[in-house]
Amino acid sequence: MKSAAAVATAGFDLVVRGGRVFADGRLQDLNVGVRDGRVAALSATPLAGTTVLDAAGKLVLPGGIDVHCHIAQTTSTGATTADGFYDATVGAAFGGTTLVMPFAAQHRGQSLRASVAAYRERAAGRAVIDYAFHMIVTDPTPTVLETELPELAAQGFTSVKLYMTYDALRLDDRQLLETLLHARRLGVVPMIHAESHDMINWLAERLLALGYRHPRHLAHARPALAEREATDRALGMAELLDIPVFIVHVSSAAAAGQIARAQRAGLTVHAETCPQYLLLTEHDLDRPFHEAVKYCCSPPPRLAGDHAALWDGLRNGLFACFSSDHSVFHLDGPHGKRKGGANTPFDRVPYGLPGLETRLPLLFSEGVARGRLSLERFVELSAAGPARIFGLAGRKGAIAPGADADLVLWDPQARTTLSADSLHDGAGYTVYEGTEVHGLPVTTICRGRLICHEGRLLAAPGHGELIACERVAEVGARPAPAPWLA
């Protein structure tokens, strides 16, 4: 690709010419004309613009949407993730993502409204790409459900994450039902972290009492069975209320099987999986402590046998999104994964790993380049599906006239070896160190602005905007299954 070159013309602000553009569900030889940050024209004939990018030999795909990432978030234990909105969105942009959806987290006793306002302040003026927020509800008081949630949904915060585990985050089944009922009334998408709290706590207590403290035992304390049981329970609640739900970070064949059965029975169940559940296994935790902590995430990586089932789900439509669950903690320092030393028990290591920048290159390389996924499925999982489910369709997730000009130029022949030294998210490590990827994003454009191009960052903090999401009709428009559930 040639560098961006200015030409004097009264045409479009930006023209991307000569590439194979994914539009209207297929690759086409088109030129893209951008004006005022939106796609203004798709044409097989030449277009003139103030700035012209030659995309010959490249794929021009919709910008990626990562609907599950944790940025500048304070956890229930008081630790704060390592990256702020600038570092995180720079890394995301270099990885082909043009919109991230992190979480405005309410902690017990807090106002949901105040939590969202405080998170807006953390983001303001810092992001280089666009962002939208999910909410996390941990304290579903009548004020939260009947006053604050409706106000926030009207402002464009139309999804809410609900936890079934962690002492400071979880809702019990009664609270889940009440919150799901209010979400249904409002047209708010519920995202559910499905792991069995009591099963995990009981196992962890037994393991620790017997001296099993090393991170390898995280996999034993949070088995696939705990995920399967909670997934089944969450789907039962969704069936009772007839509400579509979104199951986050599915890690196992067992949980995927529960979702597949619910989908075959006619329930509207959306789900995601993440790179760590396709490429890592629980054996990655079986390393010396100072290395093993890098791989601690929740749910933990499973067995190699689970990978095939998850790839099948990505291929056949069981999964609607492919997300990172990016949640970065430094290895050392006051909030670091190794802060307590080598004798720290597995349940006191901060869970999470970096993934915003590597998410889509890994999916393209392991999926498209290796023949596991079609390019159509790649676009659906990375852009179109996320936009449709979370109220962004028409503006994000597709290259179409009137949509935001969120474009990523991919070089399908490019190769690189992943290394922390070459990444941009500031984590200082990657669990994919030494992994070769085939196919790379080389230019990322957000609302018509070049964010990064051929290895150079071109955008300043503050280009990214907070995007309001629409309420999703499939959630709020369906009639109540019974008068007492209206």
Domain annotation covers residue 463: no
Same domain, 146 and 168: yes
CA separation for the pair 432, 451 (Å, rounded):
24
Query: Tokens at residue 397, please?
Result: 């997730």
Domain annotation covers residue 155: yes
Same domain, 26 and 43: yes
Overall number of domains in the chain = 2
Evaluate whether 262 touches 235 at the Cβ level (below 8 Å). Answer: yes
Total Cβ atoms within 10 A of residue 432: 23
Instruction: Provide the pairing of β-strand 321-322 with 326-327.
Output: unpaired
Query: Tokens at residue 441, please?
Result: 């994003």
CB proximity list for 257: less than 8 A, separation 6 or greater: 228, 309
Same domain, 442 and 314: no
Residue 472 pLDDT:
80
Same domain, 329 and 355: yes
CA separation for the pair 2, 96 (Å, rounded):
18
For each of the chain's 486 residues, which pLDDT tens digit applies? 333 333 334 489 999 999 999 999 999 999 999 999 999 999 999 999 999 999 999 999 999 999 999 999 987 777 789 999 999 999 999 999 999 999 999 999 999 999 999 999 999 999 999 999 999 999 999 999 999 999 999 999 999 999 999 999 999 999 999 999 999 999 999 999 999 999 999 999 999 999 999 999 999 999 999 999 999 999 999 999 999 999 999 999 999 999 999 999 999 999 999 999 999 999 999 999 999 999 999 999 999 999 999 999 999 999 999 999 999 999 999 889 999 999 999 999 999 999 999 999 999 999 999 999 999 999 999 999 999 999 999 999 999 999 999 999 999 999 999 999 999 987 899 999 999 999 999 999 999 999 999 999 999 999 999 999 999 877 766 788 898 888
What is the domain range of residue 423?
5-62+400-457
pTM of the model: 0.96
CA separation for the pair 193, 406 (Å, rounded):
29
| For the chain, counts of helices (H) and of strands (E) | 16, 22
Domain annotation covers residue 174: yes
Evaluate whether 135 touches 157 at the Cβ level (below 8 Å). Answer: yes
Residue 291 pLDDT:
97
Residue 477 pLDDT:
65
Same domain, 369 and 441: no
Same domain, 263 and 213: yes
Same domain, 273 and 354: yes
In the chain, the amino acid numbered 336 is G
Same domain, 232 and 139: yes
* CATH code of 22's domain: 2.30.40.10
Domain annotation covers residue 110: yes
* CATH code of 317's domain: 3.20.20.140
Residue 76 pLDDT:
72
Query: Tokens at residue 302, please?
Result: 């499973």
Three-class SS state of 44: coil
Planar angle of CA 66, 72, 74, nearest 5 degrees? 115
Same domain, 49 and 102: no
Domain annotation covers residue 462: no
Same domain, 76 and 222: yes
CA separation for the pair 428, 419 (Å, rounded):
9
CA separation for the pair 243, 180 (Å, rounded):
8
Sheet order of strands, 245-247 included: 103-105, 134-136, 159-163, 189-193, 245-247, 269-273, 321-322
Same domain, 282 and 234: yes
Q: What is the CA radius of gyration of the chain?
A: 22
**Chain centroid to CA 263: how far?**
22
Q: Residue 310: which H helix or E strand, with range?
A: helix 304-316
Give me the residue label for tokens 């990827």. 437
Residue 2 pLDDT:
33
CA separation for the pair 224, 325 (Å, rounded):
18
**Domain boundary at 329, 360, 376, which?**
376
Same domain, 424 and 317: no
Evaluate whether 40 touches 12 at the Cβ level (below 8 Å). Answer: yes
Q: Which of 98, 101, 96 is nearest to 365 (CA)?
A: 96
CA separation for the pair 290, 287 (Å, rounded):
8
Domain annotation covers residue 390: no
